[in-house]
Structure 1
Amino acid sequence: MAIMKWDHLVHYVNDLDKPVEIFGDHGLVAFKGGSHKDWGTYNALSYFGLTYIEFLGIENLELAKATEHNVVVRDAVKVLPGHEVLSRVVIRTDDIEETAASLKSAGLSLSPIIDGRRLDNEGRLIEWRMMTIDGDFQGLVYPFVIQWNGTDEERLERLTASGVIQSHPAGQAEIKKAIFRVSDPAAAAEHWGECFGLPIAQSEGNDTFTLKIGDQSFDFVQGDENQFKQVVFETDSIGLQGKSIHIGAGEYVFIEKATP
């Protein structure tokens, strides 16, 4: 069975300099990533271990409008420039063909498996394989799925050695939760859990339903938006604890690291 992990999240923005500057003001490293020359988009990135934030903007509108199969780009064209929103989470698999077969058997409509590539800010070619999922569940869009070359350990070593993954001046922080505000948290969590093979739990005393993905989680809470709204970090840094960073409609919240 394919192993699923939380790879990254996508946040649509108009100006890549803005999140880089805002994160920098809080002692968090973010930097220009590069261009998706086939899709007309470009990005800025901020890494917290292997889980990272991708701030995604439109570099070439006509090319983005002409993009087929990639619903992430199509959605960017729809919502920008008016709505700088958290788009979706991205799930990493170690076997994208097996994952595709499983999702198809669950009745989901998938793009073909796409060979993705972009140039980084030093002109180096970065490559991966991915597939997107069309449609939504009660208004909430699905994650997309990605597979990188090599093992997680190899990627961590390579990205650290190249300086892509580096320490944040403000201190250590880990991405722990994605918060989705949905009209029916139980149904949404159950559906995603069945589709992606993730275990589900209900928090005591409230209506939060949680899917565990490794040592991280996707939390579904009551709300009318049916959208990805918030990212929660755990941190040892006194300077970060209690902070909430807003970029467009997305919110990044920092809480004290839980004791084991």
Structure 2
Amino acid sequence: MVEIEFDHIIHYVKALNHFEFPGEYLKIQKGGAHEKLGTFNRLVPIDLKYIELIDIFDKGKMKHQSKTQEGKYSFATSIMENGYKQGFKKICFRTYDIHLLKSQFQERGLETVGPIKMTRYNQKGNVVEWQLLYVNNHEYDVMMPFFIQWNKDDETRSADLGDTSHTHLDIDMVEFKTHQRQTMVCRWQKWFDMKIIEENEKHTILHSPAQKVKFKISEGRQDMIDTLHLVDSTINAPVLIRTRGANYQFIPSYE
């Protein structure tokens, strides 16, 4: 399978323009607007991975786009379907051959939408371009990732970050809660070539083929992205921060 690796996680935050992360553990950068979706973002870069904070500037545009074939699988639609509750909404995997990835998913029996060409303007007024691929399966209703291919190579994107990246942080793990843990584990193994690295009666931890970020699937009453685990080289003890419906677990680098 084409290599995929974690790219970003989306956190819906109301009144985003006035939001600052508690304790200044994360410094938030300006982003841009998704004109078609009626949303805008601010970003927390962590190397080439990042946290994308999202808010809405036009609910009418969002509702209109959610009715389209392209829009019904988007993060914006997931915000609507969740009753506009704040918290983590989606994760995204990066690929370097989105067309081949689409073919491989279809060979595995998955329905796909895309690739869809997307653009936005960044804080410098430059156009940022990428392609998105969505995956659908009618028999599977837990959180599905989506997939991205950037129009720039990693070296250029890294240079564009300049000194805004949180070099003392690394994203270690994303934790999900679901009422159908075994189904989700089996599907992610089959669809995304993930491997089990830890399992007990309450949770399963998966590694993607790139082995850069882990995915913890825990038992829960409802399907949700619960916690983002980050390794922080500047702290000496674990710190858990819950803000705007999402958990951020900071872990010392020696643990």
TM over 0.5: yes
Separation in 2, partners of 1:80, 1:15? 16
Q: Residue deviations 1:179-221, cap 9 Å, x none?
A: 0111232321120121112222333x55321221322111101
Separation in 2, partners of 1:145, 1:159? 21
Aligned to 2:15: 15
Separation in 2, partners of 1:220, 1:255? 19
CA 1:166–1:218 in 2, change beyond 3 Å: closer, same or farther? Answer: closer
Give the secondary-structure state (helix, strand or coil) at the position aligned to 1:224. Answer: coil
Aligned to 1:212: 207
Q: Where do 1:128-167 residues align within 5 Å?
A: 128-134=130-136, 138-160=140-162, 163-167=163-167
CA 1:14–1:79 in 2, change beyond 3 Å: closer, same or farther? Answer: farther
Separation in 1, partners of 2:228, 2:135? 22
Tell me if the contact between 2:37 and 2:62 (Cα under 8 Å) persists in the aligned partners.
Answer: yes
Letter in 1 for 2:24: H
Give 1:114 deviation, angstroms: 0.7
Letter in 2 for 1:33: G
Aligned to 1:121: 123
Tell me if the contact between 1:12 and 1:80 (Cα under 8 Å) persists in the aligned partners.
Answer: no
Aligned to 2:111: 109
Q: Residue deviations 1:96-131, cap 9 Å, x none?
A: 011111222222222221111111123211110112
Tell me if the contact between 1:137 and 1:188 (Cα under 8 Å) persists in the aligned partners.
Answer: no
The answer to whether the aligner puts 1:77 opposite 2:90 as a matched pair is no
Q: Residue deviations 1:29-70, cap 9 Å, x none?
A: 112211011221101110111111011111111111111213
Letter in 1 for 2:145: P
Q: How many residues get paired?
A: 248
Letter in 1 for 2:13: V
TM-score, normalization: structure 1? 0.87
Give the secondary-structure state (helix, strand or coil) at the position aligned to 1:141. Answer: coil
The answer to whether the aligner puts 1:173 opposite 2:172 as a matched pair is no
Letter in 2 for 1:129: Q
Give 1:135 deviation, angstroms: 5.3
TM superposition outliers: structure 1 runs of 4+ over 4 Å:
135-138
Cα RMSD, aligned residues only: 2.1
Tell me if the contact between 2:132 and 2:147 (Cα under 8 Å) persists in the aligned partners.
Answer: yes
Greater mean deviation of Cα atoms: 92-101 or 210-219: 210-219
Unmatched runs of 5 consecutive residues or more in structure 2:
none
Give 1:258 deviation, angstroms: 4.2
CA 1:2–1:49 in 2, change beyond 3 Å: closer, same or farther? Answer: same
Letter in 2 for 1:212: H
Q: Where do 1:201-240 residues align within 5 Å?
A: 201-203=197-199, 205-213=200-208, 214-238=211-235
